[in-house]
Structure 1
């Protein structure tokens, strides 16, 4: 008998592959076995998904540092967890585009000021060309692109202050787990609050506050620093992230200005 996952030779009495850890399946596939597998993977109290989600709230350092140090079976792989979060975002976008379209009917932050400038018909950020619905459709891409920016910011911050415990790749892992957790929470909160008819801008503001608080909490637990040290690092990271986004925005504005001219 061989393992169906890695082709390792196994004894007939083995229930799990000693090479890859996969369960040995001997019986034919049935609906009962499928539902049992789904239950064990997603709804069982002791399953890896639930444990990962729970511990990223209570002890984020245990999940993140364990993965960095080589633990692979105890918690959900960081890429898989991030993929799950993006799937949930896709579900949120589908619900908003199908059942909660009125949530997009909100005023622009600066009103109609941009309409007074020339050539606004060619400006993608002008009120007539910009819509929250279009931006929302690209949420998954925005989340993906935000990870390397935040990883650069955390790595630079802790490199400058002398806390060089983690290399850049490990900072990507930290930010992937953090981002996946906050994306999952964001999607769940957004869906639930929209069902109760709560204003979308209020939801966004609440999520932003939760985002900052949780980011601070993760930094505090993972880097094991004092409250003041973590607060200082937190603000430096925000400065780096803001600088990166401001630079990109200015470059985009310059490119758009050249194209419009």
Structure 2
């Protein structure tokens, strides 16, 4: 018998290929087999997805460091975890744009207050359609990860903690971003189904997300609270500057090509 993935010769008793690590599938596909695979990958509380999700709260440094140092059987792969988070975010956007369009409507009184503020007639963003951010939410999440990785790498590199290179900072920020996206998407779907104000959730999730990032940095780099807080603030400043610069460039390009109207 040969491995169906890499064609290496296998013993009949092997459950995994010792060359590529793929699971040896001997049974034909049946509803029972598919149900078992779905349970193993997504439903079982003992699977790697739930273990990764829980441990990213309990001990994020262990999850991130395990992946970086090559221990990758216990926790789900970082790219797969991020892909799952984007899938959940896509489901959230689909529900909002299909069944819960009213969740995207901003309170008229609030809009009147904004429009009555001084200088709004000269504001280039006054007529901007902010549904753009919902439509391209997945792209916004993807763009944000390398920008936050650049920010954290620059801060820790120039302040002397060079334990992780840029790619490893990218892994850190992928795990962190995926965790926040999953929580936001699940809570958003719950809010939509229960008829609660989605915009309130969007506001409430911001502060805990910042606290969680500080907690992740503290657990990963094992520095004092003061050092972590100082580097966190500097990272946020650098991130804000880079993020704004990137989006200004994107908006200029989109406006120039006629993709959006500003």
User: Do Structure 1 and Structure 2 share a fold, with TM-score over 0.5?
Assistant: yes
Residue 182 of structure 1 is matched in structure 2 by 180
Closer, same or farther in 2 for the Cα pair 1:251/1:89, shift >3 Å? closer
Give me the whole-angstrom Cα distance separating, in 1, the residues matched to 2:32 and 2:120. 60
Q: Of 208, 226, 240, which aligns to 1:228?
A: 226
* 1:89-168 aligned within 5 A: 89-106=89-106, 107-108=110-111, 111-112=114-115, 116-117=121-122, 125-127=125-127, 129-131=128-130, 133-168=131-166
Closer, same or farther in 2 for the Cα pair 1:18/1:31, shift >3 Å? same
What displacement does 1:115 show?
5.5
Residue 5 of structure 2 is matched in structure 1 by 5
Answer yes or no: is 1:33 the counterpart of 2:24.
Answer: no
What displacement does 1:254 show?
7.2
Calculate the TM-score normalised by the size of structure 2: 0.88
Residue 51 of structure 1 is matched in structure 2 by 51
Calculate the TM-score normalised by the size of structure 1: 0.89
Residue 69 of structure 1 is matched in structure 2 by 69
Return 5+ residue gaps in structure 2 as ranges: none
Deviation readout 1:158-214 (Å, 9 max, x if unpaired): 112111100111111100111111100110111112222222321111111121111
Give me the whole-angstrom Cα distance separating, in 2, the residues matched to 1:84 and 1:76. 10
Residue 23 of structure 2 is matched in structure 1 by 23
Q: Which moved more, 1:16-25 or 1:202-211?
A: 16-25
Size of the aligned set, in residue pairs, is 252
Contact 2:144-2:243 within 8 A present in 1 as well: no
SS of the equivalent of 1:68 reads helix
